[in-house]
Amino acid sequence: MQMKSYLLDTNIFLWAIKNSPRLPSRARTILERGDNIVFVSAVTPWEIGIKRSIGKLRIPPIQYEIEMKNYRFQHLDVRFEHGEAVEHLPLHHRDPFDRLLIAQAITDGLTLISSDTIFDAYDVKLVR
């Protein structure tokens, strides 16, 4: 079987590390398979940190390096071409975190795993 590469939306990352029942079954199956490469963007701790600091997200601090290692997730840095790709996305919504995740997935040929229906409006490979 061919190895596939995925990018986690922030909510999927949080549900995965907390083993939440909210994690969709398709996402859980992908994450449990050992032959997939699963990326977590640098956008994720940035988004979580901002939302925690303004009180919009109430979760305990996350030990990112431990969780990344536990789940065999790979880091995906934000590169210039990701930032440039955001400019060419339609303005279906203005969330800068989501827009950058979409740009990363498109630019790097990754399938985005998300439960957020707004991603349906974009030309990005998606798993729910």
Element (H, E) at 31: helix 25-32
75: tokens are 């880091």
d(CA 80, CA 70): 29
Whether residue 128 has pLDDT greater than 90: no
Amino acid at 3: M
Give the pLDDT confidence score for residue 59 in this predicted structure. Answer: 87
75 closest CA partner among 41, 27, 116: 41
**Closest-CA residue to 9 (of 116, 120, 123):** 116
Structure tokens belonging to residue 37: 């490469």
pLDDT tens column, 59-97: 888 999 899 999 999 999 999 999 999 999 999 988 999
Name the residue ranges covered by the structural domains of the chain. Answer: 4-127
Task: Report the interhelical angle of 96-108 vs 43-53 (nearest 10°).
Answer: 170
- pLDDT tens across 96-105, in order? 999 999 999 9
CATH number of 4-127: 3.40.50.1010
Look up the pTM and report it. Answer: 0.93
Q: Is 47 exposed, middle or buried (0-12, 13-18, 19+ CB in 10 A)?
A: buried
pLDDT of amino acid 3: 75
Q: What is the pLDDT of residues 11-51, one digit of tens each?
A: 999 999 999 999 999 999 999 988 899 999 999 999 999 99
